[in-house]
């Protein structure tokens, strides 16, 4: 019977073409001195990886990505969880709030960055205006070493909370009411309900959200490329920005491919940790 | 790639997604309807003092509203600013409502840059990949869900396990491939990377698996061919999943940034996510126009979302979770 192959081939072929083949080929490229403008691509073994490790910018971009992740993920997940818990009560206008919190998620990131660029404007921006009202020091947020990363992190949190909130809301609504009712009959108070039913049953969703947030954070690019171009003084130079600059700025495809595999390895490790943790997930069934 | 990348963590979910979730929810509410009677009788005793409860409500509203204001402010600010004249938009302290609202910004954008062309580019490079993804995902999902064939589990496992592959980690070889095919600076080059999606295949497979085999067998007995069964029996039943996938994929492509940035360098092929930051870099002193252009660029997805948010929520529930 050929019907199944006819059904799967378009999807599978395109998928192999844009994911599996580039992955394998990228690995191959990372062992070569490779540039799109040279006809020859000599094999250099592990030279690209060695070059990465001995380069300051590589470590800077890794460190910046970790700082970014540490700044974004905890806040994003905590805010999303809190909003979901609040919206899960009998609140008037629930669906309106949910809609509002989700709007930044559907807004193209690079355009969100342009909108925020205007808010961060040193002279006429809304941010500095609020800072003045609060009698706090104003900044040229995107141009100062001390504030540029913070400015990027804020935009990322703003655009990422909504998606996580919807996942938490779905998880909360998936907790059977009967558990609460049974506990209430046994005399549990509201705090006990939260502590012993809601919190443990939210664990799989929390883990999922945490891991996908970390994975997403390691791929940050659009906001950085629009707002800061890695600056000032490389203070927002992140991993994907490094790949982009090395490949399409310096035409060093081999080096960029090697960095791609560092990114890939990091994400693989995070995913492996997730699988390990999911194995011990809470089940009351 | 928002939805696609975000939901990719569902890799290890087994057969629990799909329509199983919906059925489970119904079962639960049925049960709780019965036992709620018992709980209601108990509730008042444990309610706590009224003052505490009211305080809690006020606090809840205050927190939720504060967050909502923080979320909405950039949008409100964008909308208000795009109706202000250039003189007014650079005032400090800023005015809140436009003193003299103008519509000219929206017209002026089209005169200064080929905005209509960018818009068309965005429509082309979002609609075609979305249609293709929905088609290839449905077909592939059907293949994996309803047939046994050699290599099925291996292929499906490969797709599932590579869902996590970060797109930015493949841009270098992808660019080399696309450039060797002579597709740099073409629509084809923009579109070719978005013709299928692992997320879509996975989601459609989960959904189609919940359609009873008996339905397909009955059609076979009546003499229907496999492709006709797919079109006339399976596809009509997958409408909710198709709607969700369409919306996710479309918003993802409408916002696509890194790939167009790499594969296109001619101005006439720029999509809106490229053109808006470029415009704002070139004409940074015309903030009124930048705002109007940004607003027009995000309007389609915002409006689309307003009318279809139910599907978005369902989509996240279907694929993002294993409860």
Q: What is this structure's pTM?
A: 0.86
Cβ neighbours for A185, distance < 8 A, ≥ 6 positions apart = B38, B39, B42
Asked if B118 and B238 count as a contact pair (C-beta separation under 8 A), the reply is no
Nearest CA in chain A to B132: A11
* Higher per-residue confidence, A9 vs A40: A9
Give tens-digit pLDDT for B47-66: 556 888 888 888 889 999 99
Q: Which residue has the tokens 């095919």?
A: B181
For the ranges A125-134, A236-245, B23-32, B82-91, the lowest mean pLDDT is seen at B23-32
Domain boundaries, chain A: 49-278
Nearest to A36 among B141, B159, B176 (CB): B176
Give tens-digit pLDDT for A46-93: 889 999 999 999 999 999 999 999 999 999 999 999 999 999 888 888
Provide the pLDDT for residue A134: 93
Residues 48-107 of A with CB under 8 A from B: 79, 82-83, 86-87, 89, 91, 95, 97-107
**Chain A residues touching B204 at Cβ < 8 A:** none
Q: CA of B223, closest CA in chain A: separation in Å?
A: 15
pLDDT(B12) > 90: no
Provide the pLDDT for residue A74: 96
Give mean pLDDT, residues B174-198. Answer: 94
Give mean pLDDT, residues A128-150. Answer: 92
Provide the pLDDT for residue B149: 92
Establish whether the linkage from the previous residue to B93 is cis, with ω within 30° of 0.
Answer: yes
Fold for domain B113-320?
MetI-like fold (1.10.3720)
Provide the pLDDT for residue A281: 52
Provide the pLDDT for residue B36: 36
State the pLDDT confidence band at B67, using cuts at 50, 70 and 90.
very high
* Contact state of A109 with B177 under an 8 Å Cβ cutoff: no
* Structural tokens at position A252: 């060093």
Provide the pLDDT for residue B40: 41
CA distances from B231 to B226, B243, B249, B267 (A): 9, 16, 21, 40
* Contact state of A176 with B169 under an 8 Å Cβ cutoff: no
Separation between Cα atoms, residue B302 and residue B255, nearest integer Å: 12
pLDDT(A271) > 50: yes
* Structural tokens at position A265: 């390895």
Residue B277, Cα to own-chain centre: how many angstroms?
A: 21
CATH superfamily of A49-278: MetI-like (1.10.3720.10)
Q: CA of B267, closest CA in chain A: separation in Å?
A: 17
Separation between Cα atoms, residue B86 and residue B104, nearest integer Å: 10
* Higher per-residue confidence, B314 vs B320: B314
Provide the pLDDT for residue A280: 55
Give tens-digit pLDDT for B247-296: 889 999 999 999 999 999 999 999 999 999 999 988 888 888 999 999 99
Provide the pLDDT for residue A284: 47
Q: What ipTM goes with this model?
A: 0.90
Separation between Cα atoms, residue B210 and residue B48, nearest integer Å: 45
Separation between Cα atoms, residue B54 and residue B95, nearest integer Å: 37
pLDDT(B317) > 70: no
Q: At A32, is the secondary structure helix, strand, or coil?
A: strand
B228 shares contact with chain A (CB less than 8 Å): no
Cβ neighbours for A76, distance < 8 A, ≥ 6 positions apart = A156, A157, A160, A161, A164, A213
Q: At B136, is the secondary structure helix, strand, or coil?
A: helix
Domain boundaries, chain B: 113-320
Give tens-digit pLDDT for B117-170: 999 999 999 999 999 999 999 999 999 999 999 999 999 999 988 888 889 889
CA distances from A54 to A48, A50, A66 (A): 10, 6, 19
């Amino acid at each position: 019977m050929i019907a199944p192959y006819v059904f799967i081939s378009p999807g599978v072929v395109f998928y192999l073409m844009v994911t599996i083949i580039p992955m394998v080929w990228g690995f191959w490229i990372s062992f070569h001195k490779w540039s799109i403008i040279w006809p020859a691509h000599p094999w250099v073994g592990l030279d690209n990886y060695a070059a990465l490790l001995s380069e300051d910018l590589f470590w800077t971009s890794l460190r910046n990505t970790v700082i970014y992740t540490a700044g974004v993920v905890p806040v994003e997940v905590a805010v999303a969880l809190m909003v979901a818990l609040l919206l899960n009560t009998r609140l008037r206008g629930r669906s309106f709030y949910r809609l509002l919190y989700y709007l930044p998620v559907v807004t193209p990131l690079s355009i969100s960055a342009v909108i925020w660029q205007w808010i961060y404007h040193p002279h006429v921006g809304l941010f500095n205006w609020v800072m003045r009202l609060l009698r706090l020091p104003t900044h040229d947020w995107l141009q100062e070493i001390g504030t540029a990363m913070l400015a990027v992190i804020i935009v990322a949190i703003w655009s990422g909370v909504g998606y996580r909130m919807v996942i938490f809301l779905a998880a909360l609504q998936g907790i059977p009411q009967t558990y609460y009712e049974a506990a209430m009959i046994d005399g549990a108070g509201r705090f006990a309900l939260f502590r012993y039913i809601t919190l443990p049953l939210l664990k799989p969703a929390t883990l999922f959200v945490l891991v996908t947030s970390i994975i997403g954070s390691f791929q940050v690019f659009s906001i950085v490329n629009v707002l800061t171009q890695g600056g000032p003084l490389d203070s927002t130079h992140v991993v994907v920005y490094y790949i982009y600059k090395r490949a399409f700025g310096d035409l060093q495809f081999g080096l960029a491919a090697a960095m791609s595999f560092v990114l890939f390895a990091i994400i693989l490790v995070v995913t492996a940790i997730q699988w390990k943790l999911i194995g011990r997930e809470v089940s009351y069934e | 790639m928002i939805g696609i990348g975000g939901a990719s963590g569902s890799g290890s979910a087994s057969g629990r997604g799909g329509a199983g979730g919906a059925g489970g929810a119904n079962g639960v509410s049925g049960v709780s309807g019965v036992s709620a009677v018992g709980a209601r009788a108990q509730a008042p005793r444990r309610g706590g003092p009224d003052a505490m409860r009211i305080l809690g409500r006020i606090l809840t509203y205050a927190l939720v509203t504060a967050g909502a204001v923080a979320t909405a402010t950039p949008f409100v600010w964008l909308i208000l600013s795009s109706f202000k004249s250039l003189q007014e938009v650079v005032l400090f302290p800023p005015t809140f409502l436009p003193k003299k609202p103008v519509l000219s910004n929206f017209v002026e954008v089209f005169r200064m840059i080929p905005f209509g062309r960018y818009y068309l580019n965005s429509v082309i490079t979002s609609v075609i990949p979305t249609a293709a993804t929905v088609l290839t995902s449905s077909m592939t999902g059907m293949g994996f869900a309803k047939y046994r064939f050699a290599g099925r589990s291996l292929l499906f496992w490969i797709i599932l396990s590579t869902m996590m592959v970060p797109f930015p980690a493949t841009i270098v070889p992808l660019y080399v491939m696309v450039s060797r095919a002579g597709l740099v600076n073409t629509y084809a080059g923009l579109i070719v990377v978005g013709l299928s999606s692992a997320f879509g295949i996975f989601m459609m497979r989960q959904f189609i698996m919940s359609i009873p085999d008996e339905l397909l067998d009955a059609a076979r007995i009546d003499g229907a061919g496999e492709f006709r069964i797919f079109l006339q029996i399976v596809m009509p039943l997958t409408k909710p999943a198709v709607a969700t996938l369409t919306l996710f994929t479309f918003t993802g492509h409408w916002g696509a940034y890194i790939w167009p940035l790499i594969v296109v360098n001619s101005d006439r092929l720029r999509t809106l996510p490229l053109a808006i930051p470029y415009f704002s870099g070139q004409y940074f002193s015309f903030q009124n126009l930048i705002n109007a252009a940004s607003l027009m660029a995000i309007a389609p997805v915002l409006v689309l979302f307003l009318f279809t948010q139910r599907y978005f929520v369902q989509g996240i529930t279907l694929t993002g979770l294993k409860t």
